[in-house]
A and B are shown apart, each in its own frame.
Chain A
Amino acid sequence: MNYVMTISPDFNIKFVPGWFVFNSWLQKHLGQGIKLEMFMDFPAQQAALDSERIDLIFANPSNAATLVRERGFVPIARPLGRSDEAVIAARAGGPIKAIDDLKPGVRVGTTADPDVHMMCMIMIEAADLNATNIALQRYDNFIAVAKNLMRGGCDLGFFLADMFNEMSPGIRKELQVVVQSQIFSVHHALLAGPRMAGMREQILASLTGMNSDAKAKGILGDMGLTGWEEMSREDAEFMIDLMDTLTWDLQS
């Protein structure tokens, strides 16, 4: 049987080759055929999940919550020492330097990334802002948000911190960080769908052993990771509870 693996569309493009190498490595370790399918946006990935084509997914926190609680996916592992954080940025040298500078009507550039959007909406809540009193502009990706911010198409941009920090020096010098989240408890997770759930222990052993094999360690580096650690069902349930508190009363 051939299985299908995918990763969350908020991946950093420079790590894509690493994920393909990882996929080959994992197939060899498990003795199973696994095809890696990449989706360029969240709706395309959602359509694949809805048609139950996905067996293994490196999911963003929002998707992980739904897949574990509603679709029978089992948590396997999470990236070692790494959490999902968000950055709110404005134009460098502009009038917005801190959350307290924000006023109703501010034009906000965001993407379809649900976790980044949620974390940033929480951070602007401290300035009495919500979806009803800001002008939300949705862009295809974080680069498009940055470019519009630089051109004056929006006043504020929502970014995944990892992506923001990897932007070119040319873009970075045009932007300034207003605030960066330090939540630490929300992260991506590798989950197995119902057809692969029985292989959880075997997959986990392979992943956690990657750091003790020089070649596998190199693959981790190419994926932008330093290792994996086990994610138990209770770890996943706790993260889902946290996500529940974070989405409370957010008008998005």
Chain B
Amino acid sequence: MSIRDMSLEDSGGTGREVHITYFDGTRRKLFIVDEEVPFPEGRLIVSRTDAQGIITHANESFVRMSAYAQEELLGAPHCILRHPDMPAIAFRGLWDSVGQGKKWHGYVKNLRKDGRYYWVHAVVVPNVRNGKIEGYASVRRKPSRSKIAEYEALYEKLLAEEVKA
């Protein structure tokens, strides 16, 4: 998988350097800023990927919340949004479900281009055309603060277990 490293400049020169390893062994350098950007009221983030998880559609809310330009998002792998605080097992459940043609939903901490983060309640559905999965549509909406607190604690625990293993 081809994915570009983040730069210190992207984070306004204040990010802390972290390295993340994706499912296929690809490593990426990140610059993290521990600051949440609130999900705007009434909006939905909509994106589509092809069957390999490459972004093919990004709506205006996605562009705005991710802090990437639309041209940067299109053609990039969806895991460009993966925050290092998210355990790998959370995404394994996603891909297992949608790969079997099922819907998936979950609470996700997403990484922005500037190193800050935003929480979403994500629902992903496979785009089935003529009986074949051609890609995936993902819609993210505003999660409640109680759900964020619940999943923050859960992911922290899962991540610690992954690190230990």
B is a partner of A: yes
Q: Name the one of B48, B139, B144 contacting A127, with C-beta atoms under 8 angstroms.
A: B144
**Interface readout for A147-179 with B: 1 if CB under 8 Å, 0 if not?**
000000000000000000000000000000001
Q: Name the one of A128, A181, A234, A245 contacting B42, with C-beta atoms under 8 angstroms.
A: A181
Establish whether residues A241 and B43, one from each chain, have CB atoms under 8 Å apart when the complex forms. no
Distance in angstroms between the alpha carbons of A99 and B43 in the assembled complex: 13
Within 8 A of B (CB), among A126-157: 126-128
Establish whether residues B41 and A126, one from each chain, have CB atoms under 8 Å apart when the complex forms. yes
User: Which of B70-78, B82-90, B124-132 is found at the contact surface with chain A?
Assistant: B124-132
Chain B, Cβ-Cβ closest to A233: B129
Distance in angstroms between the alpha carbons of A213 and B150 in the assembled complex: 58
Establish whether residues A185 and B127, one from each chain, have CB atoms under 8 Å apart when the complex forms. no
Q: Name the one of B42, B44, B124, B147 contacting A180, with C-beta atoms under 8 angstroms.
A: B42
Question: Which residues of A lie under 8 Å from residue B124 when comparing CB positions?
Answer: 245
Question: Which residues of A lie under 8 Å from residue B43 when comparing CB positions?
Answer: 181-183
Question: Which residues of A lie under 8 Å from residue B129 when comparing CB positions?
Answer: 234, 237
Question: Which residues of A lie under 8 Å from residue B139 when comparing CB positions?
Answer: 242, 245-246
Establish whether residues A125 and B125, one from each chain, have CB atoms under 8 Å apart when the complex forms. no
Q: Say if the beta carbon of A123 comes within 8 Å of chain B.
A: yes
Given A122-B141, A182-B61, A245-B139, 5 new contacts (CB under 8 A): A181-B43, A182-B42, A238-B48, A245-B125, A245-B137
Establish whether residues A125 and B121, one from each chain, have CB atoms under 8 Å apart when the complex forms. yes
**Interface readout for A178-202 with B: 1 if CB under 8 Å, 0 if not?**
0111111100000000000000000
A186 nearest CB across to chain B (Å): 9
Distance in angstroms between the alpha carbons of A249 and B147 in the assembled complex: 15
Question: Which residues of A lie under 8 Å from residue B141 when comparing CB positions?
Answer: 122, 125-126
Q: Say if the beta carbon of A244 comes within 8 Å of chain B.
A: yes
**Interface, chain B (partner A; CB < 8 A):** 39, 41-44, 46, 48, 59-61, 103, 105, 121, 123-125, 127, 129, 137-139, 141-144, 146-147
How many inter-chain contacts with C-beta < 8 Å in the A-B complex?
Answer: 68
Question: Which residues of A lie under 8 Å from residue B39 when comparing CB positions?
Answer: 126
Question: Which residues of A lie under 8 Å from residue B44 when comparing CB positions?
Answer: 122, 181, 183, 185, 246
Given A128-B146, A248-B103, A241:B42 Cβ within 8 A: no
Establish whether residues A242 and B137, one from each chain, have CB atoms under 8 Å apart when the complex forms. yes
B133 nearest CB across to chain A (Å): 12
Given A238-B48, A245-B137, A185:B59 Cβ within 8 A: yes
Establish whether residues A237 and B127, one from each chain, have CB atoms under 8 Å apart when the complex forms. yes
Chain A, Cβ-Cβ closest to B139: A245
8 A-B residue pairings within 8 Å (CB atoms): A98-B41, A126-B41, A126-B144, A127-B144, A183-B44, A238-B127, A245-B123, A245-B138
Question: Which residues of A lie under 8 Å from residue B147 when comparing CB positions?
Answer: 128
Distance in angstroms between the alpha carbons of A181 and B138 in the assembled complex: 18
B6 nearest CB across to chain A (Å): 29
A205 nearest CB across to chain B (Å): 26
**Interface readout for A93-129 with B: 1 if CB under 8 Å, 0 if not?**
0000011000000000000000000000011011110
Chain B, Cβ-Cβ closest to A99: B41
Question: Which residues of B lie under 8 Å from residue A99 when comparing CB positions?
Answer: 41
Interface centre among B41, B42, B59, B103 (most CB of A within 10 A): B42
Within 8 A of B (CB), among A214-245: 234, 237-238, 241-242, 244-245
**Interface readout for A37-73 with B: 1 if CB under 8 Å, 0 if not?**
0000000000000000000000000000000000000
Establish whether residues A248 and B42, one from each chain, have CB atoms under 8 Å apart when the complex forms. no
Establish whether residues A123 and B103, one from each chain, have CB atoms under 8 Å apart when the complex forms. no
Establish whether residues A241 and B144, one from each chain, have CB atoms under 8 Å apart when the complex forms. no
B120 nearest CB across to chain A (Å): 11
Question: Which residues of A lie under 8 Å from residue B137 when comparing CB positions?
Answer: 238, 241-242, 245
